[in-house]
Structure 1
Amino acid sequence: MAPAPVPDPSPQKLRARRQHLLNEIDQQAAPRSAPRRELLRRRRRVLVLGSAAVAAVTVVAVSIGFGETMAPREVPPASAASVDLLERAALAAAAEPLPTARPDQYAYVKVVGHTTVLSEAEGGAMQRLRQDAGMEQWTSVDGSRRTLQRKGGADQLLPEIPGKGSLNSPTYNFLAALPTDPDALLERIYEDAEADHGADSGSTTGPDQQAFVAIGDLLRSSTAPPAITASLYRAATRIPGVVAVPDAVDAAGRHGVAVARVHDGERTEWVFDKSTARLLGERTVLLEDNAWGKDGAVVASVAILDSGIVNKAGRTP
C-alpha cells in the first residue's frame, strides 16, 4: 500500500522556514578562511524557494539544516552502547598503518549517495526531489593546489586553493596537526561550534549538534592520520545525546550498526561495519512526518567506497 501523501506546508510554516533560512544565511555570510567543502554542502538537504517578485518561477537553492526549536533541556551523556562502539572504531582506526603523505600528493575520497531537495513554485506547492550526492575528490595534502572533483564523470577544479585548511575545509596536513588528545580535540571543535551556533549566534542548531555534525563530516569526507581518526571517535563519546542504533543501512546497501544523535525530529547516523567497526557512511532519518518526508524516510545518505593518499589528482589508491 502506497504511503499517504504529505500535505503541503501551511503559509505559517512556510513563513517560519523562510525566516529560519534568512537567519542561517546571516550566520554564514561572514567570510571564512576557506570555503565549506562541497561534500558538507551536498550532505545537507536543500530548500528551493520561489520568488513572487517575477512572473516566471525563480528558484534559489541554499544548503541548510533545520535547527532545534524545542526549549533547552538537559541532555543525557552518550549512551554506554555508543561509547563502546566508538571505542571499537577508535581502536580499529589506530591500528591502521600511517600513510606516507608528501606535500606534493593528494588525499582521495570516493562516496555515493543522495540528498533531498524541496522545491517551491510560485503557487506555494512543495515538491520533494532526490539529488545525487556521489562524487570523487582529490585534495592537495599541503593545500597548495586546487581541489579536483569528479561528479557524473565530469571533472572540475574548485576555484580556490585550500591553503592551510580549516575544520570546514580540511587538508591532510591540517588534520595531522590537530590534537590527538580527545578532550583537547573536542575543545577545538567546540570553539567553532560555539562561534557559529552558540547562545548569541542566532542559530538554533546548538553547539552539541554542530560538534557531532562537524566530526561526522571530517570522518566521512576526509583522509586523516590514524591517530587523528581515533581521536575524533573518542571525542564524539564526550558529546551529550549520542546513542547507538542496532541496525542501519548505508547508501551502498551495506547493513551495519550506527552511532547517532537526534536533533529536531531527525536522527543523524554514522554507520559502521558490525564486525570490523569500520565507518561505512552516514545517513539522516526522519523521526516524524514533515515537508521533507514521512516518519522513517532516509532523506540523506552517503556511503564511503574508497579513500587514501595518491600521487596525482585523478588517480585512485
Structure 2
Amino acid sequence: MNAAPDARPDPIERAETLRCLPGLSDADLPFQGHHRIKEHLMRETANSTHPTPVRARFRRPMALFLAAGAATCAVALAVTLGVDGSDERPAAARPEPAAVQLLDRVALAAQSAPAPSVRDGQFLYTKTKGHSTSLSETKGGGMSAARTDESAEHWVSVDGSAGTLTRTAQGDKTDPAPGRDKATINGPTYRFLESLPTDPARLLEKIYADARLNHGPDSGSTTGPDQQAFVAIGDLLRAVEAPPGVSAALYRAAARIPGVVMVPEATDAAGRTGVAVARVHNGERTEWIFDKDSLRLLGERTVTLKDSPWGTAGTPVTSVAIIGRGVTDKAGQAPKQ
C-alpha cells in the first residue's frame, strides 16, 4: 500500500492529505510524509477496556528516568481528548493529525541536533526532577495517596561495560553492568541505541515485538501492546540521550501508534510549560512534554482524567523533568560545564 521511497507522490492524494491537516503545507511533509500520515489515519486497533488493579498501576518504576477521503478526514479529525474524562479513546482510534504533525516537527528538530561526543568507558549523565504516587489503605478501609520524591542523577555506561549509578536523596544505587552485547529496549546503552534501525516502521515493529512478549493478548496484562509501545518509547527517550537519527526515528515511530493525541499545554515537574504528545489509557493520560520553541523534550507525566483515590481529575500521579544532560568520564562525577 505504501509508495516506494523514490515514488513520485500523486498530486490528488497529496492535496487530500493536506486538506485533512489544516495549517500544514507541502514543506511540512518531508520523506514522503503524506503517505505516512495517510497510513496513520487508516490504522485501526482496539484498546483494552479492562480495569487495572491498583497494585499494577502504581508505582510504575521510574528507573529509566523514569487511505483517504472526506469520510476518513472527518473521522480522524474528530478524534480528540474527551472532556468528560472517559477512560479510553474509541476502539478504532487513529493517531490525531495534530499529534502526527507535532511529532514530525519534533523529529526534524531532533535530527538536526548535534550527536553527543562519546567514547567507550564514559558515562551519559542525566539529572531529573520528579515524583511518583503510591496508594495505601487507611485504618477506616479507605485509600490514601502519597507522593514520593523521585529526583535523581543517573550515570549510564556508554558501552555497558560498567553498572548504572543512580543517586537520590536516599543515597547511591548501582545496577549491574549489562555487558557490551546485553543491553535491551528496557535497559539501553548508547551503543545499543546506535544499533537500532532509523527506519520508523522497522523500529516500531522491533518495539512492538518486545511489547507483545509481556503485554500481548495471552499475557494477562491490561496495558496492551499499543500503550506499552508508547511507554517504552518515552522511557528510551528519557533514559539515555540517543543519536540524533535514532531520536528522530523514535518520534516518527510514535506517530504511528493508535490513540496518540496532542495536548496544547502541559507543565513538567520543574514547572516549565510546553506542548505535549499523549496517549490515554484506563482513565490516565501519559504526556511527553516539549518546549514550544525548541521542541526539546522537557519531561513526561501521567495525569488522572477523573476523580479517584489517586487524586482529583487533572492530578499528575507521576511526573519527571529532564533538567540536565552531559557526558562524563566517571560515574558519580558531574559533567564539566
CA deviation after TM superposition for structure 1 residue 144, in Å: 1.1
8 Å CA contact 2:128, 2:323 repeated in 1 = yes
Number of the residue aligned with 2:299: 281
Number of the residue aligned with 2:158: 141
8 Å CA contact 1:113, 1:134 repeated in 2 = yes
Counterparts of 2:233 and 2:226, CA distance in 1: 11
Number of the residue aligned with 1:6: none
Residue by residue over 1:77-99, the C-alpha shift from the partner in whole angstroms, topping out at 9 and shown as x without a partner, is 21111111111111111111122
Distance 1:214 1:16, change over 3 A: closer
What does 1:208-223 correspond to in 2, within 5 Å? 208-223=226-241
Distance 1:99 1:71, change over 3 A: closer
Distance 1:198 1:231, change over 3 A: same
What does 1:69-84 correspond to in 2, within 5 Å? 74-84=91-101
8 Å CA contact 1:90, 1:233 repeated in 2 = yes
Residue by residue over 1:216-260, the C-alpha shift from the partner in whole angstroms, topping out at 9 and shown as x without a partner, is 111122221111111100000000100000010000000100000
Which of 23, 33, 39 matches 2:63? Answer: 39
Amino acid at match of 2:242: A
8 Å CA contact 1:268, 1:284 repeated in 2 = yes
Number of the residue aligned with 1:234: 252
8 Å CA contact 1:79, 1:244 repeated in 2 = yes
Which of 263, 266, 279 matches 2:284? Answer: 266
Moved more, 70-79 or 295-304: 70-79
8 Å CA contact 1:37, 1:168 repeated in 2 = no
Residue by residue over 1:10-57, the C-alpha shift from the partner in whole angstroms, topping out at 9 and shown as x without a partner, is xxxxx9837x74xx9xxxxxxxxxxx98524x75xxxxxxxxxxxxxx
Amino acid at match of 2:178: P
CA deviation after TM superposition for structure 1 residue 187, in Å: 0.3
Q: Structure 1 regions of 5+ residues with no counterpart?
A: 1-14, 25-35, 44-68
CA deviation after TM superposition for structure 1 residue 123, in Å: 5.6
Which of 99, 102, 107 matches 2:119? Answer: 102
8 Å CA contact 1:37, 1:169 repeated in 2 = no
The TM-score normalised by the length of structure 1 is 0.77
Number of the residue aligned with 1:59: none
Counterparts of 1:193 and 1:37, CA distance in 2: 17
Secondary structure of 2:118 counterpart: coil
Secondary structure of 2:270 counterpart: coil
Secondary structure of 1:83 counterpart: helix
8 Å CA contact 1:135, 1:151 repeated in 2 = yes
Q: In the alignment, is residue 161 of structure 1 matched against residue 177 of structure 2?
A: yes
Residue by residue over 1:120-160, the C-alpha shift from the partner in whole angstroms, topping out at 9 and shown as x without a partner, is 256633211110011011011111111111101732322x2
Aligned Cα root-mean-square deviation (Å) = 2.5
8 Å CA contact 2:106, 2:251 repeated in 1 = yes
Which of 189, 192, 205 matches 1:187? Answer: 205
Question: Matched residues, percent identical?
Answer: 56
Number of the residue aligned with 1:256: 274
Which of 125, 149, 156 matches 1:132? Answer: 149
8 Å CA contact 1:143, 1:161 repeated in 2 = yes
Moved more, 256-265 or 147-156: 147-156
Amino acid at match of 1:203: S
Amino acid at match of 2:221: S
8 Å CA contact 1:244, 1:258 repeated in 2 = yes
Distance 1:172 1:124, change over 3 A: same
Secondary structure of 2:332 counterpart: coil
Secondary structure of 2:63 counterpart: helix
Q: Structure 2 regions of 5+ residues with no counterpart?
A: 1-50, 67-85
Distance 1:203 1:308, change over 3 A: same
Distance 1:71 1:307, change over 3 A: closer
CA deviation after TM superposition for structure 1 residue 210, in Å: 0.5
8 Å CA contact 2:188, 2:239 repeated in 1 = no
The TM-score normalised by the length of structure 2 is 0.73
Amino acid at match of 2:279: R
Number of the residue aligned with 2:53: 17
Amino acid at match of 1:305: I
Number of the residue aligned with 2:223: 205
Distance 1:193 1:272, change over 3 A: same
8 Å CA contact 2:89, 2:280 repeated in 1 = no
Counterparts of 2:238 and 2:229, CA distance in 1: 14
